[in-house]
Structure 1
Amino acid sequence: MTAPQPRPTVLNIPPYVAGKAPVERPGLVSYKLSSNENPYPPLPGVLEAAERAAATMNRYPDMGNARLFAALSETFDVPVEDLAVGTGSVGLLYGLIAAFCQPGEEVVYAWRSFEAYPIAVLAGGATSVQVPLLPDGRHDLAAMAAAVTERTRVVLLCTPNNPTGPALTQQEVDDFLAAVPPEVLVVIDEAYVEFVRLEGAVDGLATYRAHDNVLLTRTFSKAYGLAGFRVGYAVGPAPIAAALRAVALPFGVSAVAEAAAVASLAARDELLERVEALVAERTRVHAGLRELGWPVPDPQGNFVWFGFPGESAAIAAFATAAEERRLMVRPLGTDGLRVTIGEPEANDRLLALAGDLRAPSA
């Protein structure tokens, strides 16, 4: 008897590889720089809010996440009708593919970019159209616009791009939107928006307000430090947000996660002070790497990118050398490695490692 078989596309889904956990070594603190996590612990008010919510874990959460919707609406001055929430921005990504793509229809995105993109597209039965990045790690928006066809339903713009780091400018996005048919949904993935310091960077909220086909996705996992709770939100025109809410997993955002997210928005000023400290460390690390001869792209997230295109041996050697110093980094295929900006000691150790290794340009 033939056993049940999944859809053929499911068998082709590449596994999502999580960042490697720290490997302990006596006398040397290990640092996890492989998942772009915020190294700071939760703020006291956030932790207390989560603990209070955990006391009622025998009850279902509010399926409408009314408190979170209200807090997001007030914080970003957007109508509640223009919002959707999910289990991180990844959950929203899966939802938008389900809501807007028929099997075989196309999703255009840069590559290399967020590792979950090809997984979500295949899981939804859609077809990936990957457009190579420019040599400096930036989106090739002209090529992406040219890749849009009558079968394209969604375009994903990752800014700043994970894992390479550069962010898109407002002019670049405006020009791109002018070249894309209005029936194509353009998603601006702003998972790292709080870290962007680029002059002229795209203003996602202003862009969504000016277009009927633009959706923003954001997360509480990075700047807000709630990676363990999985909360993301989307902002877009009411019909698009409604479609996302319609396909959302019921009770997907738990009561504990909602309470922590609401408390984090209330403590936004204090949280953004922590972001400034990470940005300062990012600037220091980037400058140090450049002085050492490493051609690191402009980092606008909380990470830096070491490109070794096609050099599997060099990637493996870098990752091994980092692990020997108890730095867990993220190799990504045969393209390079991404390293999170962490605690100052971890960043110092990374700079020392980079000084001991030979930069590709050296």
Structure 2
Amino acid sequence: MSVDLDVAPAMRLQLALSENPFPPLPSVVTALNSAVAQANRYPEFVPTRLAKIIATHLGLATETVVVGSGATGVAMQVMQALLADGDEIACATPTFDGYPILAAMRSTPVRAVSLDALGNQNLEALAAAVDERVRLVIVCRPHNPTGTLISAADLEWFLGVVGARTYVLLDEAYVEFVEPRLRLDARRLVVEHPNVIVLRTFSKAYGLAGLRVGYAIATPEEAERIRRWQVPFGVNATAVAAVTASYAAERELRIRVTRITRDREQLRDALRARGLRIPASHANFLYLPAPAAELLRWHGIAAKGYPDGAARVAVGDPEASAAVLAALS
């Protein structure tokens, strides 16, 4: 089907940003409202208290946690701290748009390695792309935009091949959607591989995308290097209240995650029943083959599109998923 995009209807559904379809949990909203009453006050000069709250919840030492303005903000701190002029980055393509954008901002070349036929990051090809000029490799688990999950064994192999000189940024932005049995022990990983930095966010499962709260887990030495690039007053004043309340509402969070993943699987099953090849996703989105991007746009559904015509759509809202199914049927 070919359509004239100039006359396509206005977007009625926004599924392009892999957002949580639900607002913050009620207890989190209450905490935010209280915090907003103090909006005339500056947040901490550097977010020491927030780092301690996160570290305590995860059973980590506070000095191993670096907080920033969303995972993207922390990723920029990582690049600034660890990359010198002439260094390069290696990552899969497609990947999270933020990485090539951040690299371009600091004029850092990116070696992009294509995914395999099943939408997985090709770790062998990624390892082969690493040489003395590549200082940082980005690995997503789950991968954005396909939702695929590299195994713990494959990651261990990869870390052994690339060696300790090359930093590995392990993006776990969607880790809360991964089955507990498939999650990694971030603390053990960083201890055994000091060149690994684990990146996480409160934007996805926790539904706090608008507050811009992310963090990294690293060795104390690497965390201190990254922390030096912290922007003063750079973390939202409501972050402490929101994160504290979110941690206190873990049961409700798990219920929401279950609802989102159930909707994801129902939509994937329905699309596969119609003959579409959809990778198994471990995140809150699905990766749809071409010409999904064009078809969804024609039906007023905003999706994240890719050059080959594929699309990524957020899941979790049954009405939105029904619209996606209808558009692709």
The 2-side partners of 1:291 and 1:298 are apart by 14
Q: Read off the aligned partner of 1:41 and give its amino acid letter.
A: P
The 2-side partners of 1:41 and 1:77 are apart by 28
Map 1:307-318 onto structure 2 (within 5 A).
307-308=289-290, 314-315=291-292, 317-318=294-295
Per the alignment, residue 241 of structure 2 pairs with 259
Alignment of 1:322 with 2:299, yes or no, is yes
User: Which of residues 180, 184, 189 in structure 1 aligns to 2:162?
Assistant: 180
Q: Read off the aligned partner of 2:216 and give its amino acid letter.
A: A
TM-aligned CA deviation for residue 243 of structure 1 = 1.2
SS at 1:225's partner residue?
Answer: coil
TM-aligned CA deviation for residue 350 of structure 1 = 1.5
User: Which of residues 15, 34, 47 in structure 2 aligns to 1:65?
Assistant: 47
Change (3 A) 1:319 1:351: closer
The 1-side partners of 2:278 and 2:104 are apart by 31
- RMSD after superposition: 1.8
User: Which of residues 102, 108, 117 in structure 1 aligns to 2:84?
Assistant: 102
- Deviations 1:70-126 (Å, cap 9, x if unpaired)? 221121111000000111100011111111111221111011111111111121222
Does the 8 Å contact 2:68/2:74 carry over to 1?
yes
Give the TM-score normalised by structure 1.
Answer: 0.84
Per the alignment, residue 317 of structure 2 pairs with 343
The 2-side partners of 1:303 and 1:284 are apart by 12
Change (3 A) 1:351 1:205: farther
List runs of 5+ in structure 1 lacking aligned partners: 1-21, 25-29, 309-313, 356-362
Q: Read off the aligned partner of 1:345 and give its amino acid letter.
A: E
The 2-side partners of 1:288 and 1:204 are apart by 35
Map 1:1-362 onto structure 2 (within 5 A).
23=10, 30-197=12-179, 200=182, 202-308=184-290, 314-315=291-292, 317-323=294-300, 327-355=301-329
TM-aligned CA deviation for residue 64 of structure 1 = 3.1
Change (3 A) 1:198 1:129: farther
Give the TM-score normalised by structure 2.
Answer: 0.93
SS at 1:247's partner residue?
Answer: coil
TM-aligned CA deviation for residue 219 of structure 1 = 0.5
Greater RCO between the two (CA within 8 Å, min separation 6)?
A: 2
The 2-side partners of 1:100 and 1:64 are apart by 20
Does the 8 Å contact 1:71/1:262 carry over to 2?
yes
Report % sequence identity. 36
The 2-side partners of 1:300 and 1:185 are apart by 25
The 1-side partners of 2:84 and 2:309 are apart by 31
Change (3 A) 1:23 1:224: farther
TM-aligned CA deviation for residue 257 of structure 1 = 2.6
TM-aligned CA deviation for residue 237 of structure 1 = 0.6
The 2-side partners of 1:271 and 1:31 are apart by 24
The 1-side partners of 2:69 and 2:316 are apart by 24
- Deviations 1:231-258 (Å, cap 9, x if unpaired)? 0011111111111110011111111133
Per the alignment, residue 8 of structure 1 pairs with none
Does the 8 Å contact 2:293/2:304 carry over to 1?
no
List runs of 5+ in structure 2 lacking aligned partners: 1-8
- Deviations 1:266-310 (Å, cap 9, x if unpaired)? 2122112100111111111111111111101111110001133xx
Q: Read off the aligned partner of 2:297 and give its amino acid letter.
A: T
Query: Which stretch has the larger CA shift, 260-269 or 142-151?
Result: 260-269
The 2-side partners of 1:38 and 1:322 are apart by 21
- Deviations 1:123-173 (Å, cap 9, x if unpaired)? 122211111111111010011111111111111001111111101110010
Does the 8 Å contact 1:33/1:342 carry over to 2?
no
SS at 1:255's partner residue?
Answer: coil
Change (3 A) 1:298 1:331: same
TM-aligned CA deviation for residue 316 of structure 1 = 5.2
